[in-house]
A and B are shown apart, each in its own frame.
Chain A
Amino acid sequence: MSMIGISHLTRDFGGGKGVFDLSLEIEKGEAFGFLGPNGAGKTTTIRHLMGFIRAQGGTCSIGGRDCWKDADTIQKTLGYIPGEIAFFEEMSGNAYLAFLRSYRGMKDEGRTSELLERFELQAGVRIKKMSKGMKQKLGIVAAFMHDPDTLILDEPTSGLDPLMQNRFVELVREEKARGKTILLSSHMFEEVERTCDRIGMIRGGRLAALDSAQALRARHVKTYVVTLASEQEARAFAEDFGGRWPLEDARQVEVTARQSLEEIFMHYYGGGPSC
Chain B
Amino acid sequence: MLNAALYKKEFFGSLRLLAVFGAILTLYITMIIRMYDPEMAQALAQFEQLMPELMSAVGMTGVNDSLMDFMISYLYGMLLLVFPMVYTILRANALVAKYVDRGSMALLLASPVRRTTVALTQLSVLVTGITALTAYCTLLEMVTAHICFPGELAVGQLLRLNGGLWCLQLCIGGFCFLCSCLFGDARYSAALGAGVPCLMYVLQMLANMGGKLEGFRYATVFTLFQPQRLAQGNWRAGLYALVLLTAAVLLFAAAAAVFRRRDLHI
Contact = CB atoms under 8 A, between A and B. Distances in A.
A72 B263 contact: no
A224 interface: no
A52 B106 contact: yes
Contacts of B5: 99, 102-103
A84 B264 CA distance: 14
Contacts of A51: 109
A82 B106 contact: yes
B109 A47 contact: no
28 contacts: A47-B264, A50-B110, A52-B109, A52-B263, A52-B264, A52-B265, A52-B266, A78-B110, A80-B106, A80-B110, A82-B107, A82-B110, A86-B103, A86-B104, A86-B107, A87-B107, A88-B107, A99-B5, A100-B107, A103-B3, A103-B6, A103-B9, A103-B108, A103-B111, A104-B111, A104-B112, A105-B112, A142-B107
Contacts, number: 70
| Most-contacted residue by chain B among A47, A86, A90, A100 (CB, 10 A) | A86
Contact of A53 (B3, B107, B115, B263): B263
Interface of B: 3-6, 9, 13, 102-104, 106-115, 263-266
B112 A72 contact: yes
A47 B265 contact: yes
Nearest to A87: B104
A54 interface: yes
A23 interface: no
Nearest to B106: A82
Q: What 4 pairs between A and B have smallest CB-CB spacing? A: A86-B103, A102-B5, A53-B263, A103-B5
A50 B111 contact: no
Interface string A77-98: 0101010111110100000000
A71 interface: yes
A76 B110 CA distance: 9
Given A72-B114, A86-B102, 13 more contacts: A47-B266, A52-B106, A52-B109, A52-B265, A53-B264, A75-B113, A82-B103, A85-B107, A86-B104, A88-B107, A99-B9, A103-B3, A142-B107
Nearest to B116: A72
Contacts of A50: 106, 109-110
Most A CB atoms within 10 A — which of B4, B6, B9? B9
A54 B263 contact: yes
Given A52-B265, A53-B265, A102-B5, A75 B106 contact: no
A223 interface: no
Given A52-B265, A86-B102, A103-B5, A71 B107 contact: no
Interface string A126-141: 0000000000000000
A105 B117 CA distance: 14
Contacts of B115: 71-72
Contacts of A54: 263
A123 to B, nearest CB: 15
Give the most central of B13, B104, B106, B111: most A CB within 10 Å. B111
Nearest to B104: A86
Contacts of B107: 82, 85-88, 100, 142
A149 to B, nearest CB: 13
Contacts of B111: 75, 100, 103-104
Contacts of A75: 109-113
Nearest to A96: B107
A87 B99 CA distance: 9
B112 A73 contact: yes
A84 B112 contact: no
Contacts of A52: 106, 109, 263-266
Contacts of A78: 110
A52 to B, nearest CB: 5
B100 to A, nearest CB: 10
A105 B112 CA distance: 8
Interface in A162-220: none
A72 B109 CA distance: 8
Contact of B112 (A76, A85, A90, A142): A76
A78 B263 CA distance: 20
Contacts of A82: 103, 106-107, 110, 266
B64 to A, nearest CB: 45
A64 B109 CA distance: 20
A10 B107 CA distance: 25
A72 B9 CA distance: 21
Contacts of B9: 88, 99, 103
Contacts of B4: 102
Contacts of B104: 86-88
Nearest to A50: B110
Nearest to B6: A103
Nearest to A80: B110
A78 B106 CA distance: 13
A71 B111 CA distance: 9
